[in-house]
Amino acid sequence: MRIFKFGGASVKDAEGVKNVASVLEKVGHQNTLLVISAMGKTTNALEVVIKNYFEKSNDLNASIQEVRKYHNQILIDLFEDEEHNVFFAVNSLFNDLEYFIRSNKSPNYNFVYDQVVSFGEIVSTTIVSYYFNEKGLTNIWLDVRNFIKTDVTYRDANVDWEETQKLIQEGVDKNKLYITQGFLGSDSNNFTTTLGREGSDYTAAIFAYCLNAESVSIWKDVPGVLNADPRYFENAVLLNQISYREAIELAFYGATVIHPKTLQPLQRKEIPLYVKSFLNPLLPGTSVSKGADLEPQTSCFIVKKNQLLLSLSSLDFSFIMEENISEIFALFHQYKMKVNLIQNSAISFSVCIEDKFNNFEELRNHLAKKFKVSFNENVSLYTIRHFNEKSAATVETGKTVLLKQISRETLQIVTKE
């Protein structure tokens, strides 16, 4: 069985949905499970709904209606008959969303976040499934929350692999076409959880691992894995083949084309991963598979924006020792900070971190009780794999370098633009 993942850009409008159907007609659709994300920027729009909900904003209802209107336009563009059952199905889902907003009693932001943003994927896959059936691509719609079981770490849930594998193996017929949601799971009480932003790639890998799939294909609006993000670097080139190890390194450092958690389950069963273009589906794209000889022959550039460079030093000029570092990392874990770079000296300790849960102020106050705290906001972290002098100069030119770290294969630079 093959696993295909289509992201939000591929289904951002009616033409996108039609194109996904065209891709399947060109590459085949038997024995395939599709993992599909929310349409376009729907997750961002639902985050606005959540913000308005917690701020008790007068814009709450308008922000919900904005999401409803966006999807209704896609329905109108896809289906000629507005009495089609899909209109009632989608309307019912938005009624469920509004009911949750009215009736929720939980003050837990992360819990509410997962219950609300999940509607993006549920609505998206409902529309695509109905459209495919209309066009003769007979499929079965799966609610992924009945298959991927997790703990209660809302917004970044951990998969219960044993239970998930049992449910998937029992519930999926490898000879049929399925459509399901990326990014989502559910806890033991059947409340919705999410696997982290952009987690649909990981969903595809979970299904592939549990079904011993022949391959996973991630369909993007780029021709494959490029050596740099074309939004930030000119003359990006396609990497035709890379190893699991290299792909894991690139994902770890922040390459957005593959979600970081995706590769490990595939590598464990040596399931090949293909990154291909939904605009040119017959092109080979990039293949990710086993092999030490698949290292890129060119420098690879990764940039992470909106980082925090945090520097800690002891209040009494004493050394920062292992016990201090252990305590600091315990706090990073407690406040859910993503650490992307570490550098230390005798009396100082610097890290480049990502504050995706907006907990930095609390962390800073906690650290200030024991350390002198200084920081730079909105810095950029550049990582160059297989660097050379020319590639380093490309990144450093015209920027203020705040920190630089070099290892055998990798150069990392923190800059202020």
Reduce the DSSP state of residue 310 to 3 states and report it.
strand
Helix, coil or strand: residue 179? strand
Q: What residues form DSSP beta bridges with 304?
A: 381
Q: How far apart are CA 58 and CA 303, in angstroms?
A: 37
Asked whether 22 and 277 are in contact (CB, 8 A), the reply is no
Block residue for tokens 């890998």: 205
Six token digits for residue 101 = 């907003």
What does the angle CA 328 – CA 330 – CA 332 come to, to the nearest 5 degrees? 70
The C-alpha atoms of residue 132 and residue 20 are separated, in whole angstroms, by 9
- Return the amino acid letter for 111: F
364 is in an annotated binding site: no
- Contact, 365 vs 298, CB < 8 A? no
DSSP tally for the chain: helices H, then strands E: 12, 16
In the structure encoding, which two tokens stand for residue 195, read together?
């696997």
The answer to whether 82 is annotated as binding is no
Read out DSSP for 72-120? HHHHHHH-S-TTSHHHHHHHHHHHHHHHHHHH-----HHHHHHHHHHHH
Number of Cβ within 10 Å of residue 28's Cβ equals 11
Q: Extract the annotated binding site for substrate.
A: 121
Q: Extract the annotated binding site for ATP.
A: 231
Q: Extract the annotated binding site.
A: 121, 231
